[in-house]
Every structure is written in C-alpha cells, then in structure tokens.
Amino acid sequence: MICADCHQDIMQRNPEMCPYCHSKNLISEEKFAEIEKAKPIVKKEMGKLDSIVMECPYCGSSQKLASKSNEVTCTHCHKIYTIPKKVLDLL
C-alpha cells in the first residue's frame, strides 16, 4: 500500500491509516503507478496556456484544474487524487 497524501510505502498488512501522516487515503501500488502515469491534456492558444484538463485515475472523468492545489476531488466519483508537481508548475 501507498499513502496517496504523503506518498510513503506502507509495509504493514491491511493498514487502516498511514503511520506517517495518519491519512486514510491509501491506495495499492498498482493504482499509484497508474496515477503517476496519468498524462495531463494541455490546450494552448496563441502560445498561452489556456487550460489543463486532468483525467481522474479512478473513474476516468475529465475536469479542468482551477487552482494550484495538489489535491483534487473528482466532480464525478468524489474521490481525491494528487496532481503531479510538473503539472502544477504549468499553471
């Protein structure tokens, strides 16, 4: 398991929360790899960054990023996922 908030590996079996940050937002290593591989869709207009759209790693729904927050709550499935720093730097 990996903590989706602090990104630390959790070695214990079936943990209820992260022993490092006490978050209950835990995901499997496979799901974490999928999230890290998620590619943003960047739309450019006249050389300016118009918007960034991210695909939810849980349900596949797309939504525009509105702020520089590294956590986003999906408007469709309401799960929280983390935005990579490289994407936030584009905003």
Tens digits of residue pLDDT in 21-51: 988 989 888 887 777 776 565 555 444 455 6
Nearest to 89 by CA among 70, 63, 73, 61: 70
Which segment, 5-9, 22-26, 28-32, 63-67, is predicted with the most confidence on average?
Answer: 22-26
Q: What pLDDT score was predicted for residue 77?
A: 92
Q: What pLDDT score was predicted for residue 57?
A: 84
CA dihedral 86, 73, 60, 16 (to 10 degrees): 100
Q: What pLDDT score was predicted for residue 41?
A: 58
Q: What pLDDT score was predicted for residue 48?
A: 47
Domain ranges for the chain: 1-37, 38-91
